Structure 1
Amino acid sequence: MNFRTIILIGGVGIALHGCTSIDSFNSDSVKNFTSPQELIVQKNINAANGRAKEYVYYWGPKQSNKEPQSLYPRKHLNSYCSAKHGKFSILHKSSMSLVKNQWDKKLLSTYSSVKQGIGAYKCVQSDGQSWIVSIEPVAERKLDDGSDARMVALQTKIMTPADAQKFYSSANSSNTPAAKKTTVNNQTAKNTPSKTTTPKEAEIKKEVEAKKETKPTPPLPVKQSVSIVETPQQQQLKYYVSARRDLNKGTNQVAACNNAQRAYNYGKLHGSNAANVYAESGVLVARCLTSVPSYSSRFSNSKGQAVKILQNLANNHNHAGAKHMLNQLK
């Protein structure tokens, strides 16, 4: 085999490769699919999980003769539409709203291999049926093989007319000059210092405010406090505890004696502790009558009254404390 034969075989191989690439987008290769969605799945136009798939949109200066892959999704769907004897046309231009990185968006917008393959396309078939496909870039990156090739992730999906209108109207409105102008105006308004009010203007404003009719504020309804009704036993115990505490501390002795008297005046009430509270209160009263001058001075015969109380407790209630105190007073 001479050199001329090798060149001839190589040329035939290149030609066949070119035919294969072109044939992959022929109408005959896609006419058997029942729907554009089936085409998207079977041709692996999206990634295996249904998300965006990466395509090379720039091969670099050393491989500039290679066809960019980023046009494949549009070409496949266009071929399917042609197989159905339909008309394939652009419906909505893409604003690349799904690309979050602004630098990536600017870079992609400079390549026709990206711009010519994205957006929403509508196919109207000869049988009257129509469908819309959206091809949107999501991200961009450099190929990790040491070359200068760059890739774009494209998301291809079938949309209803309402979904397409909603998506592209919302996406394009955020990129219109009017929206940007409004943002700039709002920012300018925020950064513009407010006009300083002069003393005269402040005085006039004060007078105007004073002349304004003010509606009287309706009075708030008086909140009725919920009083907890104590039983006689509870009241008697409260007075007794307070009197004993103060007498033992030596503080508020007159008030303590008054509380002891109040507790004793309740008499013997029903209840397991009522008898003890009554008797103990009587002992406190006797103590006040004999050892608290500021209280006993109010009675003509304080000691006699103390003895009378103690005798009642000792005889009728068999109170040991009353008996002991009674013996001390003799």
Structure 2
Amino acid sequence: MNFRTIILIGGVGIVLHGCTSIDRFNSDSVKNFTSPQELIVQKNINAANGRAKEYVYSWGAKQSNKEPQSLYPRKHLNSYCSAKGGKFSVLHKSSMSLVKNQWDKKLLSTYSSVKQGIGAYKCVQSDGQSWIVSIEPVAERKLDDGSDARMVALQTKIMTALDAQKFYSSANSSNTPAAKKTTANNQTAKNTPSKTTTPKEVEVKKEAKEAEAKKETKPTPPLPVKQSASVVETPQQQQLKYYVSARRDLNKGTNQVAACNNAQRAYNFGKLHGSNAANVYAESGVLVARCLTSVPSYSSRFSNSKGQAVKILQNLTNNHNHAGAKHMLRQIK
């Protein structure tokens, strides 16, 4: 084996090492997915457990010509939106509030390969439906292979407009310089003694403190601190929760708009893996169709609510052979 062959093999190894398997970013590769959540799951945009997944955002000086992987989540969702005839645009900018290490946050903010692929994006499809996806960095590290490549962990989530507004309003307000300055000023004011205090008042306070110190008081034992366990729900659990809530409220005839929103959330997850996931997806679709045809306060948001309901029911009928969807489709027609 000559020296040229060794160099060639080594170069191929570097290219393949640490890469994520990503299809071409075109409409044909994503057009068959029924929802953006199904795309996220099937394309493994998040980790297998639904949490943040690591992507290379900088390959280092020796491999600077390689495309950064950190733009993949945004490109996949953008391609899906285009496949639906939609427009994909930035809704909220990211302040990287989930990155706890300040040095990591500062480093990530200097790379366009990170900043151009994070934040909240909104897609308005040609059929009138819309959805919002949030792509947020969680952590940063150097790749453990001796190279200069660096990784960023990205969490991709489908959000409602209300959830996105709450998250990004809270995140941005806590990171603004004005908020930090106000907090610092308030803390300084608390720690600074009043200049208007007279010498007599100071003496009285001093005597009171000395008298208090002489009293024998029994120390109060500290109360035990309860540790709250953080439970992370899987996409299947979230989908089921939204579906159950929507079905309950619709059957009762209460909170109908909120119920329809929950039904839409469950349906947007798409067909997930699991023994009961396909049924939950289909039943959620029937609820959405029901909202589009019989809940005026919800259906009035859409220009062709009946047509959208028919599309959902036809999809469930043709691809899932759902009896309830067939029955409802006959009633509408």
TM-score range, shorter chain: 0.5 to 0.7
2-structure distance, mates of 1:102, 1:26: 36
CA gap of 1:310–1:220, structure 2 versus 1, over 3 A, is: same
Which 10-residue stretch deviates more, 288-297 or 111-120? 288-297
Provide the alpha-carbon RMSD of the alignment: 37.7
Determine which structure has more spread, i.e. the larger CA radius of gyration.
1
Which 10-residue stretch deviates more, 308-317 or 35-44? 308-317
1:292 aligns with 2:295: yes
Q: Once the 2 structures are TM-superposed, how far is the Cα of residue 177 of structure 1 from its aligned partner?
A: 2.4
1:142 aligns with 2:145: no
Q: Once the 2 structures are TM-superposed, how far is the Cα of residue 20 of structure 1 from its aligned partner?
A: 13
2-structure distance, mates of 1:73, 1:264: 21
TM-score scaled by length of structure 1: 0.55
Unaligned stretches of 5+ in structure 2?
none
TM-score scaled by length of structure 2: 0.54
1-structure distance, mates of 2:70, 2:192: 46
Q: Any idea what the Cα deviations from partners look like across 1:219-247, whole Å, max 9, x if unmatched?
A: 99999999999999999999999999999
Q: Once the 2 structures are TM-superposed, how far is the Cα of residue 187 of structure 1 from its aligned partner?
A: 2.6
CA gap of 1:280–1:213, structure 2 versus 1, over 3 A, is: same
2-structure distance, mates of 1:195, 1:288: 65
Paired positions, count: 330
Question: Are the counterparts in 1 of residues 54 and 152 from structure 2 also a CA contact under 8 Å?
Answer: yes
Question: Are the counterparts in 1 of residues 35 and 268 from structure 2 also a CA contact under 8 Å?
Answer: no
Q: Once the 2 structures are TM-superposed, how far is the Cα of residue 122 of structure 1 from its aligned partner?
A: 0.1
Q: Any idea what the Cα deviations from partners look like across 1:294-317, whole Å, max 9, x if unmatched?
A: 999999999999999999999999
Q: Any idea what the Cα deviations from partners look like across 1:4-59, whole Å, max 9, x if unmatched?
A: 99999999999999999997101111001110001000100000010000000000
2-structure distance, mates of 1:84, 1:313: 18
1-structure distance, mates of 2:230, 2:325: 37
Q: Once the 2 structures are TM-superposed, how far is the Cα of residue 249 of structure 1 from its aligned partner?
A: 85
1:275 aligns with 2:282: no
CA gap of 1:118–1:285, structure 2 versus 1, over 3 A, is: closer
2-structure distance, mates of 1:24, 1:306: 32
Percent of aligned pairs sharing the same letter? 95
Which 10-residue stretch deviates more, 2-11 or 298-307? 298-307
CA gap of 1:329–1:222, structure 2 versus 1, over 3 A, is: same
Q: Once the 2 structures are TM-superposed, how far is the Cα of residue 289 of structure 1 from its aligned partner?
A: 109
CA gap of 1:83–1:17, structure 2 versus 1, over 3 A, is: farther
Which 10-residue stretch deviates more, 96-105 or 178-187? 178-187
Which 10-residue stretch deviates more, 280-289 or 83-92? 280-289
Question: Are the counterparts in 1 of residues 135 and 156 from structure 2 also a CA contact under 8 Å?
Answer: yes
Q: Once the 2 structures are TM-superposed, how far is the Cα of residue 194 of structure 1 from its aligned partner?
A: 2.6
Compare relative contact order (CA 8 Å, sep 6+) and give the higher one, 1 or 2.
Answer: 2
What is the aligned counterpart of 1:305 among 299, 303, 308? 308
Q: Any idea what the Cα deviations from partners look like across 1:170-213, whole Å, max 9, x if unmatched?
A: 11110122211211211321342332633578999999999999
1-structure distance, mates of 2:89, 2:73: 14
CA gap of 1:60–1:165, structure 2 versus 1, over 3 A, is: same
1-structure distance, mates of 2:220, 2:236: 46
Unaligned stretches of 5+ in structure 1?
none
Aligned ranges for residues 1-330 of structure 1 at < 5 Å? 24-195=24-195, 197-198=197-198
1-structure distance, mates of 2:200, 2:231: 60
The DSSP-based 3-state class of the residue aligned with 1:51 is coil
The DSSP-based 3-state class of the residue aligned with 2:271 is coil
